[in-house]
Amino acid sequence: MLSVVDHFPVLIIAISLLSAFTILIAGWRNKKSCWFISFATILVQLVMAVLILNHVLSVGTIHYWLGGWAPPWGIEYVIDAFNAYVLVIVLFICLLTAIYAKRSMEREQPRKIVTFYVVFQLLVTGLCGIIVTGDLFNLYVFLEIASLAAYALIAVAGGRALKASYNYVIMGSIGACFYLLGVGFLYAVTGSLNMADLSHLLPPLYGNKVVQAAFVFFVVGLSIKMALFPLHIWQPDAYAYAPSAVTVIIAAAMSKVSIYAFIRVLFSVFTTEFIQIYVPIDTAISWIAAIAIIVGSVIAIMQTNLKRMLAYSSVSQVGYIVLGVGLFSTHWGLTGALIHILNHAITKGCLFMVAGAIIYRAGLWNIRDFEGLSKKMPYTCAAFTLAALSMIGVPPTVGFITKLCLLLASLEAVEYAFVVVILASTLLNLVYFWRVIERMYFVKEERENKIKKDEAPVSMVIPALILGSLCVIVGLLWLAGAATPLLPIVKQAVNTLLETGVGAAP
């Protein structure tokens, strides 16, 4: 007998998809209703996600068979500790983005409000679908829904955003084709698309060249989607020229879902045994991640446009997560990766919100023009500073926790080169974030009296301050250990991936 919560995985998708059509119809009569419908929908989804997370932690994994068809013949939605954790993070970011977008989109694209919220809700639908599904092909369908929505949201700004969106379409389509080839290869060998079923069918076939080729296709395809160096070339322009609210959700939420899919396929379909024995790429992806960490930080230092600087910073931050994945032989590696998913979501979401707020109020893109900005926009600059400190890894922020976990993982794996990379990247992070903070706070005396306080709208500042504050609060919660729910959630998610291999297995 299914409980009410057991139905939430499919309801989260259904109400979001229905909301997109409702927004379209309601928007014809009154475009002001679009925001309220979208906000209410995502709020309900977030409440459901929190209840799902509580149910998973207290009762166990949720299995929902669509249409009553038992897997592997039917599509199954499966939620364990790992994707329940990611689902709450993503919907929380989407909710704050919806609040932030109200004034931001009214200023940037006043004639495309209805279109924006329809496509925005479709993007949320795709992101949630990727997270909850236990079927490889169904994941591809939702991945394409989310990707097509993202392409459209970036292009809505016009001008240089059109080229950025086109580049994203090309790279995203290549990534999707690689992923789909992987799905086809596995189906040809096993006749199944269910993740849990595949994890049981594949072990006798690990030596099969078709299975190994499928694994490579999955890794390359999803690496493009999550912008892992050197497959990140679509990202900087997409982040820099998209509308501010769109940049927030793509950088803070969509990239995390792509990383989730990467980790899910690696550990819940192929398992750690396959990675360690048959296709030992853990060392290779660790070194690629290490290079990404350094190269992304170095190029970020060279940028004068704040959004482009943050875009290259994201290339570096994805490297941290992938480095943790590559060091999965220690629990510290995956622990650091999962915590950094949360860290990157809240910090990068905050930083891009601040960038959009500065553009909205002061019309400034160039970091060199930020001199004295803290006098004009004190709360916005305070949010930026908190998030920047977390990115640098200053204790007790959550960024410090993730870097500490990755350092411990590197030491336990006797990979001292990665210790040097993490410490060097911290110094590089300090360089490019400090120059922004210095411009904001250290004002020349002759200009001080000329600067008047003029903050961005409250609906844009409050979400940024919430995320900035969480950078410190989450760090303190982690340091508090088992006394808070964060540590048990991450620990159970790591155990799901490492010990069982298949958190989705019945």
Q: Is residue 411 part of a domain?
A: yes
CA 269 to chain centre: 21
- Residue 501's pLDDT band (boundaries 50, 70, 90)? very low
DSSP state of 133: B
For tokens 């679509």, the residue is 234
Q: How far apart are the C-alpha atoms of 264 and 268, rounded to whole Å?
A: 5
Tell me the backbone φ, ψ of residue 45, rounded to 5 degrees: -60, -40
pLDDT (tens digit per residue) in 231-240 = 888 888 888 8
| Angle subtended by helix axes 113-132 and 136-155, to nearest 10 | 160
Burial 379-409 (b: 16+ CB within 10 A, else e): bbbbbbbbbbbbbbbbebbbbbbbbbbbbbb
The letter for the amino acid at 21 is: F
Q: Is residue 237 part of a domain?
A: no
Domain extent, residue 337, equals: 281-506
Q: Is residue 448 part of a domain?
A: yes
Q: Is residue 178 part of a domain?
A: no
Q: How far apart are the C-alpha atoms of 341 and 323, rounded to whole Å?
A: 12
* Segment 220-228 mean pLDDT: 89
| Range of lowest pLDDT (33-47, 262-276, 340-354, 441-455) | 441-455
Provide the number of structural domains found in the chain: 1
pLDDT of res. 7: 85
* % pLDDT > 70, the chain: 95
For residue 179, is pLDDT > 90? yes
Q: Is residue 442 part of a domain?
A: yes
Tell me the backbone φ, ψ of residue 30, rounded to 5 degrees: -155, 105
Q: How far apart are the C-alpha atoms of 394 and 387, rounded to whole Å?
A: 10
- Residue 212's pLDDT band (boundaries 50, 70, 90)? confident
- Residue 331's pLDDT band (boundaries 50, 70, 90)? confident
pLDDT (tens digit per residue) in 242-258 = 888 888 998 888 888 98
Q: Is residue 400 part of a domain?
A: yes
Q: How far apart are the C-alpha atoms of 202 and 136, rounded to whole Å?
A: 14
Indicate the helix (H) or strand (E) that contains 319.
helix 306-326
pLDDT of res. 446: 46
- Helix, strand, coil content of the chain in percent (nearest 5): 80, 5, 20
Indicate the helix (H) or strand (E) that contains 48.
helix 33-58
Q: How far apart are the C-alpha atoms of 239 and 137, rounded to whole Å?
A: 28
| Range of lowest pLDDT (155-164, 179-188, 349-358) | 155-164
* Mode of pairing for the β-strands spanning 76-79 and 62-65: antiparallel
Q: Is residue 440 part of a domain?
A: yes
Check: CB of residue 375 under 8 Å from CB of residue 459. no
Q: Is residue 410 part of a domain?
A: yes
Tell me the backbone φ, ψ of residue 63, rounded to 5 degrees: -120, 125
Per DSSP, the residues of 336-389 read HHHHHHHHHHHHHHHHHHHHHHHHHHH---BGGG-TTHHHHSHHHHHHHHHHHH
For residue 95, is pLDDT > 90? yes
For residue 75, is pLDDT > 80? yes
pLDDT (tens digit per residue) in 435-484 = 888 888 876 544 554 556 777 788 889 999 999 999 998 888 887 765 57
Q: How far apart are the C-alpha atoms of 63 and 55, rounded to whole Å?
A: 12
pTM above 0.95, yes or no: no
CA 444 to chain centre: 38
Q: How far apart are the C-alpha atoms of 248 and 464, rounded to whole Å?
A: 11
Q: How far apart are the C-alpha atoms of 209 and 80, rounded to whole Å?
A: 31
